[in-house]
Amino acid sequence: MVRMIAKVAAVAVVAAAAMAPAVAGASLIEGLSIRVGMNIPSSGQSTVVVAGGGGTSDAPGLRSSIDFGAWGGGLDYKLKGIPSLFNGEGWSTSVSADFHYSERKAGIVRIIPVSINQVCALEAEGNCKPYAGFCLTAATISGDGLSNTTRWGGGLILGANFTEKLYFEGRYEWIDCTGGVPDASGFRTYLGYRF
């Protein structure tokens, strides 16, 4: 547990150091949001590739280790002065780090996804301002019977800003499950507040 917290802290320090020149003239909390939500794995089992060309086999997914989802929360920080992958004024880039925890059915499960997100504001309908985009994620998975393993993945994001401060976001991510790691692919949903 201490090692995981140290990894998350190290990622936050590296991200802050990389952003320091861009935010030198701005408030440090401008662009920061806190959020709470749930990680809902979509699969009860996963197909893994057996080493040495031994074919494939079925392994339990994270869904079989938790009842429905893992509650959690985290931070999202919009990066100013960082170019977006796509051109246009509606595109923005953010970094997010979340912590999800479940202590149910088959023991303890911890999921720590750290993502780089690119979203584009869509045409507003009334007070609701929707957005859509994609992310690149490194997810660290650990718990009872699970080794502390980090896997890469990516996903699609769909959200809505209800006000300047309050937003709801959903995403589906595909996470690599090779090497016998339980499949952590699935949905993440958040209700967030921007400072």
Strands 129-143 and 107-121: antiparallel
Angle of CA points 3, 8, 14, to nearest 5°:
120
- Ranges 15-24, 104-113, 121-130, 160-169, most confident: 160-169
Please name the amino acid found at residue 16.
A
The 3-state secondary structure of the chain, one letter per residue? CHHHHHHHHHHHHHHHHHHHHHHCCCCCCCCEEEEEEEEEECCCEEEEECCCCCCEEEEECHHHCCCCCEEEEEEEEEECCCCCCCCCCCEEEEEEEEEEEEEECCEEEEEEEEEEEEEEECCCECCEEEEEEEEEEEEEEEECCEEEEEEEEEEEEEEEECCCCEEEEEEEEEECCHHHCCCCCEEEEEEEEEC
pLDDT digits (tens, 9 = 90+) for 123-157: 877 788 999 999 999 999 888 777 788 899 999 99
Q: Tell me, what's the pLDDT at 135? A: 96
Q: Tell me, what's the pLDDT at 145? A: 73
Instruction: Domains for the chain: give ranges and CATH numbers.
Output: 2-194 (2.40.160.20)
- Average pLDDT value over all residues in the chain: 79
pLDDT digits (tens, 9 = 90+) for 174-194: 988 777 777 888 999 999 999
Q: Please check the confidence at residue 159 and state whether its pLDDT lies above 90.
A: yes
Please name the amino acid found at residue 182.
P
Length of the chain: 195
Q: What is the pTM of this model?
A: 0.74
